[in-house]
Amino acid sequence: MTKLDDAIPYEDLLMVCPRPAVGPAPGLPEGYRWADEPGSMGEEWAALMTSLGFPFSLEEARGKWRELQAPDVAARHFFVLGPEGDLAATCTLCAGKYPEAAPLRMHWVMTAEGHQRRGLSRTVCRAALAAADGRPVQLSTQAQSWPAVVLYESLGFRPWERAWGNVAEGEAKARWARARKAAEAHGARL
């Protein structure tokens, strides 16, 4: 994910990949490697989240990490380290938050600014989708992340324009209409 576009109002959006494609394991650019123990990298994860402009303090980001460690969340992390051993990209696959949409959730897709435009977000997402074993996967995003929405669509995710959580169907459709308009203003098509 690139830095959030703060020129666009924040609105939660939901996407679903009904049939994740399972293919060969994605490769990493030279010098990059998968983290051996991503579960021990909470501090790095929280720092990455705040550096990308998520609306959380460092302490709130640490709290988000602790939530992912709860047994009922059943999180599986996909972390890529850069050539210097720094946290370059992340993605988490866990239990779905909105069961009406899909049983699994792809969550917290992030790529550090110095590592963007190398295909790392695509790689961690593909690894998570492969781990879903063909089961439907949901993800939450926002209009401010319109470049990420373009990536998610290329991976098979589609806008969920039905009711979910406390969002009525009409509101879900209206949010997606606003997101499309915002992306088009930046030359992107959703």
Could you identify the residue written with the tokens 């069961």? 99
Residue 153 in any domain: the answer is yes
- For 71, the domain range is 12-185
**Which pLDDT does position 4 carry in this prediction?**
64
Residue 104 in any domain: the answer is yes
Domain count, the chain: 1
Neighbouring CB atoms inside 10 A of 128's CB total 25
Residue 109 in any domain: the answer is yes
Residue 112 in any domain: the answer is yes
Residue 1 in any domain: the answer is no
The whole model's pTM is what?
0.90
CATH number for 88 = 3.40.630.30
**Which pLDDT does position 10 carry in this prediction?**
82
Residue 151 in any domain: the answer is yes
Residue 134 in any domain: the answer is yes
Residues of the chain with pLDDT under 50: 1
**Which pLDDT does position 3 carry in this prediction?**
62
The Cα–Cα gap between 38 and 78 comes to 7
